[in-house]
Structure 1
Amino acid sequence: MRVNKNIAIFGVALATSCMLFTSCNTVKSMNNTQKGAGIGAVGGAGLGALIGKKAGNTAVGAIIGGALGGVAGGLIGKKMDKQAAEIERTVDGAEVVKAGEGIIVKFDSGILFGFDQTALRPEAQTNIKNLVNSLNSNPDTDILVIGHTDNKGTEQYNQGLSERRANAVKTYAVSQGLAGGRVKTEGKSFSEPIGDNSTEAGRAQNRRVEIVIVANDKMKADAKQETSM
C-alpha cells in the first residue's frame, strides 16, 4: 500500500538524518504516534537516535523486538502517548522516555533504595503503586523491569544487586495488584552505562531501574485488525 511505503521511507530518512546530525530537534518533538509509524523501518539505530542515550541496550532491544511498524505501529504509538502522559502526571520521581511503540519509565536507584539496599523506600512504594494504577488501567501491555548499577565493586556483586532491585520492584508492584504474569525482570550490573562511570555524576546516572512497557499480543492483534478494516 502507498501509505505503508511512504511511512517506511519516512522512517529510513528519519533514522539517517539523526545519525548524521547530533542535534535532532525534529525527532525530539515527535510523539509516539509518529515514531511508532516509522519504527519498523527505522530499526535499532533509528530507535537509538529517537530516544537518545537515555536507556540501556536491553530496554531499547525489548521495544525493537516487539515493534510492528507501519500504520499498526502508529496506532500502538498513539496509545503509548496517552499512557506516557498519564504516568508523567501521576508518578513522582520518574523520567518517562517515549520510545516509539513502547515507554521506558526510569527511576534513579537513589529514589527507590537506600545505599546498597534492596528494600523500597516508603516514598518509592507510593511511586510504584501509582505506576501500577496506570499499568492496570492499560492492561494490554507487557512489562520488563531492568536493574542497573555503577561500576563500584565487583561485577558479580553488582549483578546480584541489580537483579535483587529489579525483583524488589516487581514484587512490590505485584503486591499492589499488578498481574505477575505481565512482568519479567533482568539485572544488568554495570554493563549498560548511560553516563560516564569515571565521574560521580555519571555513576549516579547509571544507578537506575528501567521499566519498559510494550504492547502485548492482544494490543498488536487489535491494531492489525483495525488497520485491515
Structure 2
Amino acid sequence: MPTIRTLAAASAIVTLAACTTNPYTGEQQASKAATYGGGAAAVCGLIGAIDSSKHARNAALGCGIVGAGVGAYMDVQETKLREQLQGTGVQVAREGDNIRLIMPGHITFETDSYNLRGSFYPALNSVGQVLAKYADTTLRVTGHTDNTGSRQYNQNLSERRAASVADYLVTRQVARDRMLTVGAGFDQPIADNSSEQGRATNRRVELYILPKTS
C-alpha cells in the first residue's frame, strides 16, 4: 500500500499539474486531472502510476466510483503518449475517458501492404512502453482503407493492418488478450475519397485505449 509520504508526493504532483504547458502550442492550460475532479480524486487515480502492482492499479480504478480516478489514470497516460509521440505523425486524441491514437497509413505501412515500415518501429515502441506500464485498459485496434479496390480486398487489408499493429505491440510486452483487432475496410472514412489527399487520410490504423469497466 502507498505510504502517507507517497500520497503527499502525489498530491503535490497533482497540484503542479493543474496548469500545464501544451507541448504543441506552448500555451498554459488546465490539465484533465483537475478537470475530472480535483486533487484528492486525482491522487487516487495516480496511485496506479506510482505503484505498478495490480492492487494499486485496481485501487486507482476503484476511485472512479467516487471521483476522478479513471479520468486521472487516463490523463497520466495521455500525457506520456503526447510526450513520446511528438513529431512522429501519430495523432493523440482524448475523448472523455478514452484515448485514441490515429496512425496514418503513409507512416505506418508500405503502399498496399500490411507490413509495418521499419521507420515506424520507434513510435510503436513508445506506444508499447506506455501501454505495458498502464495495464488496466483494454485496447481496440481498427484498420481503415480508402475506397480503391473491391470491398472484400479492402476488408482483408484493414484486418491485416490492425493485426500487424497488435502483433508488434505483443513484442513490446502488451498482453494480446487486452487487444481486439477490427477491420473497418472503407466504411468509416474521415475525409473525401474523391481526392488523393482524402484517400491518404482515410488509410490509417486507429488504436483506442479504454479503461476497464470491471
Shorter-chain TM-score bucket reads 0.5 to 0.7
Q: Secondary structure at the match of 1:217?
A: coil
Letter in 1 for 2:72: K
Equivalent-residue separation in structure 1 for 2:65 and 2:118 (angstroms):
42
Judged with a 3 Å threshold, the aligned counterparts in structure 2 of structure 1 residues 121 and 82 are, in CA distance, closer, same or farther, namely same
Letter in 1 for 2:166: K
Equivalent-residue separation in structure 2 for 1:205 and 1:30 (angstroms):
30
- CA drift of 1:31 comes to 5.8
- CA drift of 1:163 comes to 0.2
State yes or no: 1:186 paired with 2:207. Answer: no
Letter in 1 for 2:84: T
- 1:65-214 to structure 2, matched below 5 A, reads 74-91=68-85, 92-214=88-210
Unaligned runs of 5+ in 1: 1-28, 38-69, 219-229
- CA drift of 1:190 comes to 0.6
Equivalent-residue separation in structure 2 for 1:124 and 1:74 (angstroms):
34
Contact 1:151 1:190 survives alignment (8 Å) = yes
TM-score (norm 1): 0.64
- CA drift of 1:33 comes to 4.9
Letter in 2 for 1:101: D
Contact 1:32 1:80 survives alignment (8 Å) = no
Letter in 2 for 1:147: G
- CA drift of 1:124 comes to 1.2
- 1:24-43 to structure 2, matched below 5 A, reads 32-33=32-33
Equivalent-residue separation in structure 2 for 1:184 and 1:94 (angstroms):
20
Task: Indicate the RMSD between aligned Cα atoms, in angstroms.
Answer: 2.3
Judged with a 3 Å threshold, the aligned counterparts in structure 2 of structure 1 residues 94 and 73 are, in CA distance, closer, same or farther, namely farther
Could you tell me the percent identity over the aligned residues?
Answer: 37
Contact 1:142 1:183 survives alignment (8 Å) = yes
- CA drift of 1:34 comes to 7.5
Judged with a 3 Å threshold, the aligned counterparts in structure 2 of structure 1 residues 109 and 36 are, in CA distance, closer, same or farther, namely farther
Flag as ranges the 4+ runs of structure 1 deviating above 3 A.
29-37, 70-74
Letter in 2 for 1:142: T
Contact 2:132 2:172 survives alignment (8 Å) = no
Greater share of helix residues, 1 or 2? Answer: 1
Contact 1:84 1:103 survives alignment (8 Å) = yes
Judged with a 3 Å threshold, the aligned counterparts in structure 2 of structure 1 residues 98 and 118 are, in CA distance, closer, same or farther, namely same
Contact 1:33 1:76 survives alignment (8 Å) = no
Letter in 2 for 1:176: R
